[in-house]
Amino acid sequence: MSAHLNVEVPMIGVVNGPARRHADLALMCDIVIAADDASFEDTAHFHNGGIVPGDGINVVYTMLMGLNRARYLMLTGQVLTAKEAKDMGLVAEIWPREKLLPRAWELARQLAKKPEMLLRYTRAVLTHPLRRLLDEGMPFYVAMEALSTLDKRKA
């Protein structure tokens, strides 16, 4: 996640199908667009995997969805459709799959017209809140995830 946040220019996340594992990587992008048949979930941790969602996905979903919605999604294994994700603010636009990449390239060309330093400084400002939350909590979150993995092996 740190490497993702260290990218110095705005990033466009394109979700062209089910985001079953680490949807947080796409959702951490500055602009997120999705195919109309995309979906978002975190069933790999608590729900099906039996481990704590402590690798940062907990921070990303909570920041983007709000605490109660994120807890519900992670505890129940809820799968969000593209429309639900858009309604909750996880994605900005929904497109038919065949129009998704052309739209992403259009957005990229639009951003590329801006001055380089404007892009870099804006990216720094927009990622600062997420970076702060991850830096503050990541050692604890990863420790809890590791402990749950150890407990799972003992069972």
91: tokens are 């994605």
Question: CA nearest 27: which of 4, 50, 54?
Answer: 4
Span 42-91, pLDDT tens digits: 998 888 888 898 888 999 999 999 999 999 999 999 999 999 999 999 99
Residues 6+ apart with CB under 8 A from 116: 9
Residue boundaries of the structural domains of the chain: 2-99+115-149
Report the alpha-carbon distance of residue 104 to residue 122 in Å, rounded: 19
Kindly report the number of other CB atoms within 10 A of residue 124's CB atom. 12
DSSP label at 30?
S
Banded pLDDT at 6 (limits 50, 70, 90): very high
For the domain made up of 2-99+115-149, give the CATH fold. Answer: 2-enoyl-CoA Hydratase; Chain A, domain 1 (3.90.226)
pTM of the model: 0.90
